[in-house]
A and B are shown apart, each in its own frame.
Chain A
């Protein structure tokens, strides 16, 4: 069974641009959650999607958004990139909203 797949693995963008990251969950998993990891703030919860609906959002500005498709694949978008958005973005999938989490390898975003 394939694990959680995140694409791309690495991304370099310029301040002011926007970026879209993709996450394909384990087959059958309906919950997808996103996390940001930076050296200064550590790991922080971004949002959770379940059945194509955002169920929860962390304390991030509106520049951070996402969506989930009918096949449970999820994308997150960051608009008007800032230098502080440079981070490792991780996604995790779960069979249910309270089940064990399975993480992807992350997308490392660098904003210059």
Chain B
């Protein structure tokens, strides 16, 4: 059983819509990452957070440590946002921040 659960698995939206992708994990973490992967395969790190909220452009990431839950929001979505969004966590007991456990990803398609 994957210890990092993402929902939804697939999401189709119209350009301009507000999008939310959710991530839940099972035990204490030192950090949570939101990653973006385009069809070519390369991964871009969007956010790394351990508490609160971060914003970058149209992207917002929040995390609730008590509820073990994080959300990635995209405001005013655009077709170029179409990609797979992956949540990954570094558990507290790990001795490295790069030893990540990954969610299965959310395939986002934004139609014009």
Contacts and interface: CB of A to CB of B under 8 A. Distances in A.
Interface of A: 31, 33, 35, 37, 42-45, 48, 55-56, 58, 88, 90, 92, 94, 96-106, 108
Q: Classify the secondary structure of A's interface with B.
A: strand
Interface in B10-64: 30-31, 33, 35, 40-45, 48
Interface of B: 2, 30-31, 33, 35, 40-45, 48, 86, 88, 90, 94-105
Contacts, number: 69
A48 B95 CA distance: 11
Nearest to B105: A42
Contacts of A90: 41, 43
A55 B95 contact: yes
Contacts of A105: 40-42
Nearest to B33: A101
A42 B96 contact: no
Nearest to B2: A42
A101 B49 CA distance: 12
Given A98-B31, A106-B41, A45 B48 contact: no
Given A55-B96, A98-B97, A42 B102 contact: yes
